[in-house]
Every structure is written in structure tokens, then in C-alpha cells.
Amino acid sequence: MASNAIPAVNIAPYIPEMWGLIVVAAAENNLEFVQHTDRRFEKELKYGDTLNVPNLTNFSGAQNVDTTGDLTLYDVIQTCTAIVVNYHYYQAVGLGDQEQIQDRPDFLKAALKKCGYDIALIQDLKVSALVNGLNKSEGTEGSALTADVLINCYEDMNANSVPDSDRVWIFDPKSITDLLKIDYFVRYDYVPEGVVSKGFQGRQIFGAPVYMTQHLNVINTSYHAATYMHKEALAIISQESPTIFNFRWPEKFTDVVGVKTLFGVKEMRDTWGIWIKTRN
């Protein structure tokens, strides 16, 4: 005996909703500043909220030996640079009992990874915000990068006796596009491999590697602050390195897990870096 098909509305309660086994996470942008920033001072701050780093200026020059007179001793008042640990951040996620029973992918693990990324991002942003405070700037806001801008940056760093090692260039995506039009970045004459084979990854300008990030500090509402700098130009201290925490929130029937950190950043050598003004 024939019968009509069961209406969809009647069978819907018996069809389980399934979750995919692969969690599609949001794209994570490049973080470049912290890894190219001076971290030597972290181990020195065991307690307290400020680390004073002594500055030693150059001596005035060697003295002629004069056996008839007194010695001329180096006597210059030295200063300190204070790195204040004043940034305390966390990112956390909660997963209720119901979700833990019903979900199949390990969302908590995926979410914890995102928490760690958010903490790394805020550290990168705080370091990048120091760039426009550097002593020297090159380029023009709203204008594309040119070969002259790159050459001027290189000249400025050399004039300030900045060591060749540990220099880096950090640009935004549109500045990388500008670089593709400049011979110093793409020609075999200046770099060991062609841009076609490697893109911009691992590329160099005047011996320093080039990096791209989507998180340059924005100046005057519209323009990113790129940089050509030495590692010792800026410093970061993580008094509490990114640390995982977790606890049970009984009132909410929820397990909470997250990442927290306590850190400070400081411009240490303002002549060892260049603020590069960009077109966007």
C-alpha cells in the first residue's frame, strides 16, 4: 500500500547535527616585531615593575702620555633608560559542559591556540607603536617608496655607526608592492635570487632581510609606520611570559582556559632605527 513521504518537519528532530572534524580557524597575520626586538634584559627583572638599563656614552678620546701632569680621567655623568613593565593582558575562552559533551572536534585546543596568537599580537602591536618615536624618518606619507628612500635609510644608519648585523626592514603589504618596482629588491645584480622564485620571503636590501606584517602602527589615521632598524633599537621585557591558565567556573558549568602575559616595551637606541613613512 503506497503512502506519502514523511514530511521534513516531522523527521527533522531525528536527524542529528554533525560537526566537521576540521576546525577552520581565522587567518593569522604575520607577527614580526617582537622576534626582531632586543630581549636580553628579560632575565634581569626578577621583581619590581621597572628595569633601569645604564647607558655608557663614548669616551672623548685617548690622551697623550704626560709624565709631568695628572691623569685625565673619564668623568661623564651617565644616564639610565627605564623599561617599565606596565602591560598586563589576557585572552580566554569558556566551554560549557553541554558543548563539551556534544562537540566532536577539540575546539578548546583550537581556541587556546587563538588565545596565544592574540597575546603575541598585542606584544607585536606595542613594539610597533614605538617606531614613529625613532630619531630619524624617511619617505613621505601618502607616497610610494622609492630607491632614494631606501638609500637615505641606509646612509642614516651608517652615519650613526649602527652595526651591519641584526638590521631588518619591516614593511606593510602595500610597501612590499612598491618594492617590487625597485631594482634593489628584485634585480639579480643586487640580491642572490630572483623575486619570481622566492617572492619577498628571505629577500634582502643592502644586506638586511625584508619582512612584511599587517600590523604596522598607523600614524595620522591613514599611514603605516614601516622601519629599517637594528635589533637593539627597541626592547621588550616579558616579566611573565605568555602563560596558560585554566579553572572551573561552577556557576556557569564552564571550563575556562586562556593565556596571560605581563610585559613592557621601550625605545633603547633612537638613532639605531629609521621611521619609514608609507603611502598607506
Which H, E and C letters describe 156-185, residue by residue? HHHHCCCCCCCEEEEECHHHHHHHCCCHHH
| pLDDT tens digits for range 72-87 | 777 666 778 899 999 9
User: What residue type is 87 in one-letter code?
Assistant: Y
- Residues 169-210: tens digit of each pLDDT: 999 999 999 998 887 777 655 555 544 444 455 578 888 989
Give the side-chain half-sphere CA count within 13 A for 46.
0
pLDDT confidence tier of residue 255, bands split at 50, 70 and 90 = confident
3-state secondary structure of 245: strand
- From the list 126, 119, 120, the residue with the least C-alpha distance to 260 is 119
- Helix residue ranges per DSSP H, the chain: 8-11, 97-102, 107-128, 147-159, 173-179, 183-186, 195-198
The one-letter amino acid at 170: I
- C-beta separation of 235 from 123 below 8 A: no
In this predicted structure, which of 2-11, 26-35, 46-55, 158-167 has the lowest mean pLDDT? 2-11
Binned at pLDDT 50, 70 and 90, residue 168 comes out as very high
Q: Which residues pair with residue 266 across a beta bridge?
A: 235
Measured distance CA(175)–CA(200) in Å, rounded: 11
Tens of pLDDT, residues 206-247: 889 899 999 899 988 889 999 999 999 999 998 888 888 888
Query: What tens digit of pLDDT does each residue of 55-73 get?
Result: 777 777 777 888 887 877 7
Domains delineated in the chain: 34-277 (3.90.1690)
Could you tell me the pTM of the whole model? 0.80
Distance of CA 115 to the CA centre of its chain: 16
Q: Are 164 and 225 within 8 A, CB to CB?
A: no
